[in-house]
């Protein structure tokens, strides 16, 4: 596998990520800024102030990600869930508030009949 194929594969896999939560911006920022800052720290390895300054600056997003994760974990766990999960959960909560039952239906075992549907269907034009 050539280097070009590896890079294309990595870019394709990065574009496939579909989990969106409050941590994504920090998780994307961490490796990008760390690589840039640590490269600068390596370039300025002879100057101890710049070397340690860039190394510390590169570590800040990683530390912020860890702190942010634990803050969300203890204060608001919904922010760690994906957007799709939160939307489906809220839709279910609204449905239950309106009086829908919490009955679990196994569609693989049960044949759906029109009489069993919630609200049902009428018999044509009959009222």
Asked if residues 23 and 69 have their Cβ atoms less than 8 Å apart, the reply is: yes
- Distance, in Å, from the CA atom of 34 to the CA atom of 37, rounded to the nearest integer, reads 5
Domain count, the chain: 1
- Tell me whether residue 118 is in a domain: no
Domain, as residue range, for 36: 22-101
Cβ partners under 8 Å of residue 104, min gap 6: none
- Tell me whether residue 3 is in a domain: no
- Tell me whether residue 45 is in a domain: yes
| Tens of pLDDT, residue by residue, the chain (127 residues) | 788 887 777 777 666 656 677 777 778 888 888 899 999 999 999 999 999 999 999 999 889 888 988 888 888 777 777 777 778 888 888 877 777 665 655 556 656 555 555 555 555 555 4
């Amino acid at each position: 596998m050539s280097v070009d194929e590896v890079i294309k594969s990595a870019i394709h896999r990065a574009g496939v990520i579909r989990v969106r939560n409050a941590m994504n911006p920090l998780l994307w920022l961490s490796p990008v800024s760390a690589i840039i800052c640590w490269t600068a720290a390596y370039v300025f390895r002879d100057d101890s102030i710049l070397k340690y300054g860039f190394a510390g600056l590169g570590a800040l997003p990683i530390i912020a990600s860890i702190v942010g994760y634990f803050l969300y974990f203890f204060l608001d766990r919904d922010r760690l869930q994906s957007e799709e999960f939160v939307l489906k959960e809220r839709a279910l909560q609204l449905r239950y508030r309106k009086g829908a039952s919490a009955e679990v239906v196994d569609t693989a075992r049960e044949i759906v009949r029109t009489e069993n549907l919630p609200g049902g269907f009428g018999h044509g034009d009959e009222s």
